[in-house]
């Protein structure tokens, strides 16, 4: 598993693409209105944009081996 700093650095890098995504979404929206094209690509871009712009939910770390052993001892 990667450390949180590496993950945060990767997310920061990915979020640098948000302005590009916003421009692509606008272009595809205009094009889809003009050509009545399929909205699959536009929906995927919206999903990617939401992923990159919305804060990630906090994930509770899985209990470590030491915590699991303590829980088992408390049950006995």
Gap between the Cα atoms of 36 and 6, Å rounded: 42
CA distances from 51 to 25, 32, 33, 48, 73 (A): 14, 22, 25, 5, 41
pLDDT value at residue 53: 85
Q: What is the pLDDT of residues 44-67, one digit of tens each?
A: 888 888 888 887 666 665 655 555
User: What is the longest distance spanned by two Cα atoms in the chain?
Assistant: 69
Phi, psi for 16 (deg, rounded to 5): -65, -15
Which pTM was predicted?
A: 0.48
For 11-32, the pLDDT digits (tens) are 888 889 889 888 988 888 887 7
């Amino acid at each position: 598993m990667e450390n949180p700093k590496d993950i945060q650095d990767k997310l920061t890098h990915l979020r640098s693409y948000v302005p590009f995504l916003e421009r692509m979404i606008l272009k595809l929206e205009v094009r889809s209105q003009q050509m009545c094209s399929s909205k699959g690509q536009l929906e995927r871009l919206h999903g990617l944009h939401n992923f990159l712009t919305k804060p990630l939910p906090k994930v509770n770390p899985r209990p470590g081996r030491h915590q699991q052993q303590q829980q088992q001892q408390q049950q006995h």
